[in-house]
Structure 1
Amino acid sequence: MFVKLRFSSGYEVKTSPLIMRFGDDGGPVDPPEPVFVETGQEWHMPWRNGESIESATTQRWTSLAEQRDFTHAWQTTEAVGQQIQCAWLNGEPIGKHYQLAFSSSHPLTGTDFTWRYASLLPSEQAAWHMRWRTKSPLSGTDFTWRWKAGPLTGIDATMEWWQSPHEVGQSVLMHWGPYPWQWICYWVAHPFPGAVKLRFDEQSQTHTGAISMRFDEPQKVCYWGLPGGDQRGWDDVPTNEIKVPIIAPVARSYLMQPTFTCVRVRDEMQIMLSSFTHQQSRGQFAAVVNLKFMSRIDQERAINELLRIELNGYEFYAWAESPSKQISFNNYQYSASGRSRVAELASPNKAPANYSNQTVQTIAGIMSGLLSDGWTLDSQVIDFPVPARAFNIMNKAPAEALNEAAERIGAMVLCDDSLKKVRIVPRWPVMPWDTASATCDVVLNEGVIISHSAREIRQPDFNVAFVRGEQEGVSCRVKRRETLGDRYAPEIVDSLITDIQAARQRGSAVLADSGKKEESTIKTKIMPQLPPLQRGQLIGIQYAQHLYKATCDTVTVSAAVDKQGRITINQTAGLVKNV
């Protein structure tokens, strides 16, 4: 048995080939609203006599494609083409161009639309309201597309126009805020896509095993910075090189009322101290602290506690770690030694561990990963990438590993105990051969200096150094400028020398440490106009005839209370300079 199908007329398409479906079989569901993220806006509008003569708009979106393709299908048997061009002058649209192309005997049709002006899409991040002084601005456009079986029959366009409106102004609303920094990674020497060609020059022979094909893994470099897009970076903004030094005032007499207090940070309990010493040098990550207590009760309350000591309004933080006592006839002394606040990241508070980077990271990212317990990093050295497994430190606590990493790149560690911030700065912020033209950080005068002593140290004077890395490092020759480069320092080999910036910083520190030096010791006060000195600062002493400049190497702050209750607060700084 057979079924015969007869067709008496030609087949015609009765419906549109475009089918839009929303939801599922359970019922209609509204499609989700698109999320537009605006990444950049640029507007340039010059005016002449109140009328707009030029308008340029550049708009980019991250959630919208830069190109839009429309595909329509018609059942046609012959090629159909249509082109519309419209142009107006005197305030009306300058140009509008439509191109419609149909492919003969093929169901697909390409459509290309080009507008001279693009309208801003709705966005939750930006709202634009614009009104123009034109004779016939476009207030609304309605396009209706109609088709039926066979070729496209027509396009209906409905346009409404205003009649000579007045300019009422322009209102722009933009939302912005600080953008968070993040890790930005890119590939270095990434291979281009292609094919692997296998060529056989001999006949096949029986072999055991398999043929191994090895391909080098592309190198990936990451750095910590602002993401890309239409926004200014941090490296193209000119820096402010103006430095205002702290100048101690010159006076006939200095009237001071010293203050010396100590509290336990945990509950603000008062701890009575008879003396306090805070000492630190450029090679130390934590200061060494010595405390003497008024009584045994004060010692018991302070041991293994974080203390805040205030001297003339300036705060110091210290951990009382190792208690001691001295008892003699009618004399009891209770004391303790400890370190500054960053000691909570050092041994024995943190267990020693091994550290290594398993992926490509920058040196700032590696050092930031060593911090914990609310401590943050402020790196002021030039950052550089470190290849995978090039950073290796064995059996160190986090603070000790951070200090070692800083020394290996020619830097040192400074800590802000109140903000729990670690700063990585060059060991020589100002090179010793540049101090003559540099601006001092602090300028003292003879009136505030209690004593000043100096001595000379003779050591080899180098003007060139070879610095190189290991397996994945670089080899550089660092020479002091305006020298012959004929006195070589011992060669420096370190796995962290993976970039020329690392070699420059390490080599510069080695050359700055060499040569004949003059070490000075000055003793001065702590006043509202003279804060505690910091390591690495360029200190100036203004004498009658000249300004003495030297780099601060060590700082010791001391406070004591005698039996009559008189308080004495001093600070002693060790300075070093080239001679």
Structure 2
Amino acid sequence: MFVKLRFSSGYEVKTSPLIMRFGDDGGPVDPPEPVLVETGQEWRVPWRNGQTIESATTQRWTSLAEQRDFTHAWQTTEAVGQQVQCAWLNGESISQHYQLAFSSSHPLTGTDFTWRYASLLPSEQTTWLMRWRTKSPITGTDFTWRWKAGPLTGIDATMEWWQSPHEVGQSVLMHWGPYPWQWICYWVAHPFAGAVKLRFDEQSQTYTGAISMRFDEPHKVCYWGLPGGDQRGWDDVPTNEIKVPITAPLARSYLMQPTFSCVRVSDELPIILSSFKYQHSRGQFAATANMRFMTKIDFERALGELLRIQVNGYEFYVVVEVDSSQLKFNNYNYTATGRSRIAELAAPYQAPRNYSNATAKTIAGIMSGLLSDGWTLDNKMIDFPVPERVFNVLNKTPAEALNHVARSIGGMLLCDDATKTVSVVPLWPVMPWDTADATCDVILNEAVILEHNTNKVVAPEYNAIHVRGEQDGVSGRVKRRETLGDRYAPDVTEPLMTDVQALRQRGSAELANSGTKAQSSIKTRIAAWLPPLRPGQLIGIQYEQYLYKATCNAISIDVIITQNGALSIKQSAELLKNV
């Protein structure tokens, strides 16, 4: 509603003011006087220091239709208790009652919680009851929960807990998970906080230029590692065993449809091959490949190119490098050899050079600095700091220098040619003496193994070794656990041994290489349920009542297309196991 005031004539002085009335014509209506609503708050805290110590707090709020009471009491003599009462009234329809009591000497303490809809739903009720006894002959906790919604539907659940009377228990919740690694930096020989004093002992003179003030730059060291927190040292942190082995199925027969194709990566041009052999072993930074082409045209199209070869759906990248041909009467063979894609960082594509760290870095930073052309590092070794001018490599290509660093710290290189990622992993991901309790990466059975040959390689077994650095390095003794450490391997001296973790990783690899080993060679298939094996994997062979475990040292994949067009695909693996 709007009131419009219109002035149609000039202002004139009136003898009486203008009165505006709303409502009854009988005269002005006065507003009703406000009704006083009493609202009070009261606090009472008595304290007595004698036979009875009591602390009570009472708090009340009241209004016309609402009420809430709070009572808190504490006693320490015959009965120590705490009581809280909360009531809420809104007319006569909703009621809530909550009571909590605690006693250390009284035989029974109870907690009652009741919610009722008195007027609206007289047939519905929820009751929660919890009791705790600490002095009775039998300690127990009762938990009862009832819910009823009408005479036909009902759920009644009861849970009880009993234990001996004087037992004391504690429940601790601990979240465990891998910490994300990050760069951790600290200052070395950092100067103390101070002040710069400027003293003027001569009169001012005209001077053109600026006054240079030089301060020594603090020495900062960064390394890639675990952040601080409630955790143990690196060498004691247990691994989360979440690895699920790839298990070949056991069947009466296996139906397989082998596939084999090759294309040139630059333009996806198909290249036809009649045979393909792919080999890789630990210690090699690149895998080697031998190819035979179907025609001279395919041979010429592939020279100096990067090929993507698919074997039963699994991809392999090969750079064709060295070609050869054999011409006979009515028989022409065009073959070539190559390496995996990491060869892009080796000769002849990269020239040999010298490397040195002008500043302090971590070993992961040094290895990452050796990569280029889109290659990235995935370091799975324990990182450690390397002081400046300690890393020095002469006349090596980036791939050779990276492989040299990996071998120096007890690791090896595994490359993902599709994503151009170099992984640095331990030379022995599972120590030979720990294979019994380790989880296999791949488990085969006798049905999928075409051939299995074993021979013994005899070598002395060591259980201790001295590993040393040089001028800025450290030295230490690495001993195989649960042994006397009395059979020493030849000492190892390496400039990169600048941290205890470096000694531990290199010494462990040297001790794992020693000892008499069973060298096995197996032949199996490649299928959707059995991917190509990789060096460093822990391979298991399941016999009837025995699981044979060994570390994969080298792999070989053979693809042959016969003259009648039949396609044969097999893979072989060389396994090592301590005996």
Q: Shorter-chain TM-score: which interval?
A: 0.5 to 0.7
Separation in 2, partners of 1:336, 1:360: 44
Of the two, which has the highest radius of gyration?
Answer: 2
Amino acid corresponding to residue 342 of structure 2 in structure 1:
V
Ranges in structure 2 where 5+ consecutive residues have no aligned partner: 1-58, 62-179, 196-214
RMSD, aligned CA: 2.9
Separation in 1, partners of 2:379, 2:497: 17
Matched, 1:484 2:511: no
Amino acid corresponding to residue 487 of structure 2 in structure 1:
R
Query: What secondary structure does 2:358 align onto?
Result: coil
Residues 464 and 450 (structure 1), Cα distance of their counterparts in 2 relative to 1, 3 Å cut: same
Separation in 2, partners of 1:238, 1:428: 17
Separation in 2, partners of 1:576, 1:348: 34
| CA-to-aligned-CA distance 1:518-570 (integer Å, 9 cap, x gap) | 10000000010000001100000001121100000000011010001110000
Name the residue aligned to 1:152. none
Residues 551 and 182 (structure 1), Cα distance of their counterparts in 2 relative to 1, 3 Å cut: closer
Shift of 1:278: 0.5
Shift of 1:216: 11
Matched, 1:278 2:278: yes
Conserved 8 A contact 2:224-2:384: no
Name the residue aligned to 1:57. none
Query: What secondary structure does 1:244 align onto?
Result: coil
Name the residue aligned to 1:192. 192
Shift of 1:224: 3.5
Shift of 1:220: 2.7
Shift of 1:218: 6.0
Shift of 1:322: 0.5
Query: What secondary structure does 1:403 align onto?
Result: helix
Name the residue aligned to 2:534. 534
| CA-to-aligned-CA distance 1:148-177 (integer Å, 9 cap, x gap) | xxxxxxxxxxxxxxxxxxxxxxxxxxxxxx
Separation in 2, partners of 1:402, 1:520: 29
Amino acid corresponding to residue 344 of structure 1 in structure 2:
E
Shift of 1:240: 3.7
Shift of 1:242: 1.5
Name the residue aligned to 1:554. 554
Name the residue aligned to 1:448. 448
Name the residue aligned to 1:510. 510
Counterpart mapping for 1:141-540 below 5 A: 183-193=183-193, 219-224=219-224, 240-540=240-540
Name the residue aligned to 2:577. 577
Amino acid corresponding to residue 462 of structure 1 in structure 2:
Y
Shift of 1:182: 7.2
Shift of 1:183: 4.9
Name the residue aligned to 1:28. none
Separation in 2, partners of 1:518, 1:216: 59
Runs of 4+ in 1 over 4 A off after TM superposition: 180-184, 215-219, 225-228, 235-239
| CA-to-aligned-CA distance 1:114-170 (integer Å, 9 cap, x gap) | xxxxxxxxxxxxxxxxxxxxxxxxxxxxxxxxxxxxxxxxxxxxxxxxxxxxxxxxx
Shift of 1:312: 0.4
Separation in 1, partners of 2:390, 2:301: 45
How does the TM-score come out when normalised to structure 1? 0.63
Separation in 1, partners of 2:514, 2:379: 25
Name the residue aligned to 1:139. none
Shift of 1:239: 6.3
Amino acid corresponding to residue 459 of structure 1 in structure 2:
A
| CA-to-aligned-CA distance 1:358-407 (integer Å, 9 cap, x gap) | 11100001101111111110000100000001111111110110000000
Residues 90 and 258 (structure 1), Cα distance of their counterparts in 2 relative to 1, 3 Å cut: farther
Query: What secondary structure does 1:252 align onto?
Result: coil
Amino acid corresponding to residue 418 of structure 1 in structure 2:
A
Counterpart mapping for 1:105-120 below 5 A: none
Conserved 8 A contact 2:288-2:337: yes
Residues 537 and 324 (structure 1), Cα distance of their counterparts in 2 relative to 1, 3 Å cut: same
Amino acid corresponding to residue 359 of structure 1 in structure 2:
T
Residues 90 and 527 (structure 1), Cα distance of their counterparts in 2 relative to 1, 3 Å cut: farther
Query: What secondary structure does 2:393 align onto?
Result: strand
Separation in 1, partners of 2:182, 2:389: 22
Counterpart mapping for 1:81-120 below 5 A: none
Ranges in structure 1 where 5+ consecutive residues have no aligned partner: 1-88, 92-179, 196-214
Aligned residue pairs, count: 384
Name the residue aligned to 1:149. none
Residues 438 and 226 (structure 1), Cα distance of their counterparts in 2 relative to 1, 3 Å cut: closer
% same residue: 66
| CA-to-aligned-CA distance 1:428-476 (integer Å, 9 cap, x gap) | 0000000011110100000000000000011111110000100110111
Separation in 2, partners of 1:343, 1:222: 31
